[in-house]
Amino acid sequence: MTTAEANDTIIRVRGLRTQFGSHVVHDGLDLDVRRGEILGVVGGSGTGKSVLLRAITGLDRPAAGRIEAFGTEVLDASAEERARLDDRWGVMFQDGALFSSLTVRENVEVPLRRIPDLSPELRRALAELKISLVGLPYRAGDAYPSELSGGMRKRAGLARALALDPEIVFLDEPTAGLDPIGASAFDALINTLSESLGLTVFLVTHDLDTLYATCDRVAVLAEKRVLVTGTLADMLEVDHPWVQEYFTGPRARLARAADRPNAETEAD
């Protein structure tokens, strides 16, 4: 990534406040997402990672703050601007959030229906292309979500998120519930899509292996805001109890060693 690209902020969140009744989840939260990066969003349970994803994509309305995406103020966007934004991002929820009464191909066709004058044949062909892009077998298009494994459902959710060739995808816990082999295959898929399509990825995860395998930067949510952003190496220097425990604990050491097999011996 060149410096110019690295500075190309496509999403800018400032002073975000979200709350449910008297429960304040975010207060004064700032975050930048840069074009082409894979940004890992981490934080303890309940720190508001999913709520942040939903606020940025306009699914939840925050109490205060500004969210700018591709130069558009998300919170003030007209219906037309919102529709244009929806074409530029895709969202994959934890369980894939597929329509259970539709086949995988029909699920992927749902966002494609927004394209005017697209013939049913072309819509079907485009959906099949996305299904193969995420590494699902051709026949998976005819299957209903309940007939698929958890990993396949996640891939189907990703295919639907990619239907309109978005510039950014928001992934909520994409490897949660997958076995280690399925999870690392999903990590590889994220990397491939990022490299081959230049896709920006906003990745909510608890999975340290995924962070080390995929992320350019991480943003840590704590104390109702983004406490710190930086590379994984930067996180080792952060003097905060949760960050220290998370990034230097035994699981993090294993994930780091798996990502750079010689790192532990180099350090010795």
Ligand X SMILES: Nc1ncnc2c1ncn2[C@@H]1O[C@H](COP(=O)(O)OP(=O)(O)OP(=O)(O)O)[C@@H](O)[C@H]1O
Q: Which of 221/255 has CB closer to ligand X? A: 221
DSSP alpha helices (H): ranges in the chain? Answer: 3-6, 49-56, 79-88, 104-112, 120-133, 150-161, 180-197, 208-214, 232-235, 241-248, 250-259, 263-267
Minimum distance from CB of 211 to ligand X (Å)?
14
* Strand (E) or helix (H) holding 237: none
Nearer to ligand X by Cβ, of 47 and 194: the residue is 47
Supply the minimum distance, in Å, between the C-beta of residue 54 and ligand X.
8
3-state secondary structure 73-85: EHHHCCHHHHHHH
**CB nearer ligand X, residue 57 or residue 103:** 57
Nearest-approach distance from CB 204 to ligand X, in angstroms? 6
> What one-letter code names the amino acid at 161?
A
The distance from CA 141 to its chain's CA centroid, rounded to whole angstroms, is: 23
Helix boundaries (H) for 142-199: 150-161, 180-197
Tell me if 60 sits within 8 A of 51, measured CB to CB: yes
| Secondary structure tally for the chain: helices H, strands E | 12, 10
* Closest separation in Å from C-beta 5 to ligand X: 29
Please report, as ranges, the residues that interact with ligand X according to CB under 6 A.
Answer: 20, 25, 43, 45-51
Cβ proximity to ligand X, 56 vs 159, nearer residue: 56
Query: Residue 88 Cβ, how far from ligand X at the closest point, in Å?
Result: 23
State which residue, 58 or 135, has the beta carbon closest to ligand X: 58
Task: State the helix-helix crossing angle for 120-133 and 104-112, rounded to 10 degrees.
Answer: 120
Beta carbon of residue 256, minimum distance to ligand X (angstroms, whole number): 21
50 or 57: whose CB is closer to ligand X? 50
